[in-house]
């Protein structure tokens, strides 16, 4: 009986650990990796952060692409509209937007690619002026040569005053510009010239316009005295004389 009791105590001693695992690990310097900081866990965290960053980048790229597409579409619409429908997107100016300034003949003559009237010996220039934009006086909208005198002789109507305007800016609607909107046209020395005679205005006035290169040109003519007759025939003769 005594031997059984001694055997039982020895078994309990052997089964019961002398210290806990934590105590044993601390004693012998043993450590196990933290499952929260395992490579798999870190990879998972990094993947989540990378996914968020990629999503933000995708959203940013989408916004940029949409903005570029809208800009490109607007540019295409403007170009197509201008070429097909004749849209003009430049600002429009009228007589109230300009100031007229007297100038020398040389300023007009030295303008590149400009077409000037050809005057015979019995003709003379009058005064020279330019219309400049009030809010930007470096911008010249048109040149004007006024009070020019030309004589076609008694057989061709007599003597005339005429004004010659060179419009440099396409969207400039100068005073009385609508009087030049006639659809009647003829070829004068290789130029397609639109013209009309206003017999309801005193004095009777002839209006003509044509385009050449980058500029538009306008001619206005009236009789110099009561002996001068201005009609379609004499006005076209005048245009053929100065538009060589």
143, pLDDT greater than 80: yes
Cis peptide preceding 173, ω within 30 of 0: no
The answer to whether the CB of 161 falls within 8 A of the CB of 222 is yes
Average pLDDT over residues 129-142: 96
Confidence at residue 130, expressed as pLDDT on a 0 to 100 scale = 97
The answer to whether the CB of 229 falls within 8 A of the CB of 167 is no
Average model confidence (pLDDT) across the chain: 79
How many structural domains are present in the chain?
A: 2
In this structure, the answer to whether residues 233 and 153 fall within a common structural domain is: yes
In this structure, the answer to whether residues 44 and 102 fall within a common structural domain is: no
Burial code (b: 16+ CB inside 10 Å, e: under 16) for 88-110 equals eeeeebeeebbeeeebeeeebee
Domain boundary among 47, 67, 85: 85
Q: Of 18-22, 61-65, 92-96, 234-238, where does mean pLDDT reach its minimum?
A: 61-65
Degrees (nearest 5) of the Cα angle 175, 220, 199?
95
Q: What is the rounded distance in angstroms from the CA atom of residue 120 to the CA atom of residue 60?
A: 70
Nearest partner of 114 among 55, 61, 43, 165, judged by Cα = 165
**Residue 4 banded pLDDT, cuts 50, 70, 90:** low
Average pLDDT over residues 184-211: 95
* Position 18 in a domain: no
Confidence at residue 122, expressed as pLDDT on a 0 to 100 scale = 79
Percentage of residues in the chain having pLDDT higher than 70: 63
In this structure, the answer to whether residues 72 and 104 fall within a common structural domain is: no
* Position 1 in a domain: no
In this structure, the answer to whether residues 103 and 163 fall within a common structural domain is: yes
**Residue 63 banded pLDDT, cuts 50, 70, 90:** low
In this structure, the answer to whether residues 116 and 65 fall within a common structural domain is: no
In this structure, the answer to whether residues 170 and 212 fall within a common structural domain is: yes
Confidence at residue 48, expressed as pLDDT on a 0 to 100 scale = 52
- Return all residues near 45 (Cβ < 8 A) that are at least 6 apart: none
- Give the pair of three-digit tokens for residue 216: 């538009």
45, pLDDT greater than 70: no
- Domain hosting 49: range is 38-85
In this structure, the answer to whether residues 180 and 157 fall within a common structural domain is: yes
* Residues found in the chain: 244
**Residue 75 banded pLDDT, cuts 50, 70, 90:** very low
Confidence at residue 228, expressed as pLDDT on a 0 to 100 scale = 84
Query: Higher-confidence residue: 101 or 153?
Result: 101
In this structure, the answer to whether residues 45 and 143 fall within a common structural domain is: no
């Amino acid at each position: 009986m005594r031997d059984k009791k001694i055997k039982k105590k020895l078994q309990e001693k052997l089964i019961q650990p002398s210290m806990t695992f934590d105590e044993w690990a601390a004693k012998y310097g043993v450590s196990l990796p933290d499952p929260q900081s395992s490579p798999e866990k870190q990879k998972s965290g990094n993947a989540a952060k990378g996914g968020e960053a990629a999503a933000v980048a995708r959203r940013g790229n989408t916004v940029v692409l949409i903005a570029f597409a809208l800009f490109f579409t607007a540019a295409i619409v403007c170009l197509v509209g201008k070429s097909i429908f004749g849209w003009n997107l430049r600002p429009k100016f009228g007589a109230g937007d300009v100031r007229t300034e007297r100038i020398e003949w040389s300023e007009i003559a030295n303008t590149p690619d400009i077409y000037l009237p050809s005057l015979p010996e019995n003709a003379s220039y009058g005064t020279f002026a330019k219309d400049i934009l009030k809010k930007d006086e470096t911008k010249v909208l048109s040149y004007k040569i006024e009070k020019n005198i030309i004589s076609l002789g008694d057989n061709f109507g007599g003597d005339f005053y005429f004004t010659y305007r060179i419009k440099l800016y396409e969207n400039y609607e100068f005073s009385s510009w609508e009087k030049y909107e006639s659809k009647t046209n003829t070829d004068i020395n290789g130029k397609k010239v639109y013209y009309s005679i206003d017999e309801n205005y005193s004095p009777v006035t002839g209006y003509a316009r044509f385009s050449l290169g980058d500029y538009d040109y306008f001619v206005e003519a009236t009789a110099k005295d009561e002996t001068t007759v201005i009609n379609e025939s004499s006005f076209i003769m005048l245009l053929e004389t100065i538009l060589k």
